[in-house]
């Protein structure tokens, strides 16, 4: 179970490392900044989100892949829930006040104060950057390359001033055809490991079920 949970958090922690501290980076290229800002405005026009996901972890030292399947729910401004359904069940909820997590193996709910765990507060903030389209903020600590336009694919490579340069080779983001949301995030680590997160059946501004943000015994 520990390996499963670590794999789930790989994406969160990798994205956490990307943004640079305020004032630490050079000015972004003039032509790319407005493009990302406009793209972000297209993506950000929603209050709730529900999506299925498939996360695949390819580890350099192992032949077999670790595949997780589940659901993500987001309610702006500050509630994100991840529910892993297969191969084991695991849930984590991050809000502006607390973190709650539950796993099938122990059948225990753990609750932590976000105020006493600032790293999770930062995770919430940076996941919000990705899920809400604030891509322009990533220019300071990343070189950004337009890979293709249909569908839109962007590659983020950490700069030397970024903490991520010690662990991440690149993050490649593929958008849906309508560019209103992400279709896939692919993280290449310096270790040779690759994590791919695919979003399926994504619905914006859809009503969320009462149990979307529950972390115990989800269905």
Question: What is the rounded CA–CA span in Å between residue 62 and residue 45?
Answer: 41
Q: Locate the domains of the chain by residue range.
A: 2-14+29-206
Lowest-confidence pick of 64-73, 164-173, 198-207: 164-173
Q: Does the structural domain 2-14+29-206 have CATH classification 2.40.50.140? A: no
Higher pLDDT, 161 or 147: 147
pLDDT at residue 129, as a whole number: 66
Name the CA radius of gyration of the chain, rounded.
17
Q: What percent of the chain has pLDDT over 70?
A: 75
Structure tokens at 82: 């991840």
Question: What is the rounded CA–CA span in Å between residue 98 and residue 9?
Answer: 17
Residues 131-159 have pLDDT tens digits of 666 777 777 778 888 899 889 898 988 88
Average pLDDT over residues 168-189: 88
Q: How far is CA 9 from CA 16, 28, 111, in A?
A: 10, 29, 17
């Amino acid at each position: 179970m520990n390996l499963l949970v670590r794999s789930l958090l790989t994406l969160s922690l990798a994205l956490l490392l990307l943004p640079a501290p305020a004032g630490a980076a050079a000015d972004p290229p003039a032509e790319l900044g407005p493009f990302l800002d406009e793209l972000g405005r297209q993506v950000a026009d929603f209050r709730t989100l529900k999506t299925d996901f498939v996360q695949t972890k390819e580890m350099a030292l192992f032949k077999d892949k670790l595949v997780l399947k589940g659901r993500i729910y987001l309610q702006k401004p500050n509630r994100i829930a991840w529910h892993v359904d297969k191969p084991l069940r695991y849930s984590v909820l991050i809000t502006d006040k607390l973190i709650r997590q539950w796993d099938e193996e122990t059948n225990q709910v753990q609750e932590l104060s976000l105020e006493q765990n600032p790293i999770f507060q930062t995770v919430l903030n940076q996941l919000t950057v990705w899920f809400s389209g604030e891509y322009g903020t990533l220019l300071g600590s990343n070189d950004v390359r337009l890979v293709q336009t249909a569908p839109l694919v962007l590659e983020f490579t950490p700069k030397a001033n970024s903490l991520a340069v010690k662990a991440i080779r690149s993050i490649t983001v593929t958008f849906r055809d309508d560019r209103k949301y992400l279709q896939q995030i692919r993280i290449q680590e310096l270790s040779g490991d690759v994590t791919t997160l695919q979003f399926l059946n994504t619905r914006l501004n859809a009503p969320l079920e009462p149990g979307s943000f529950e972390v115990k015994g989800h269905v």
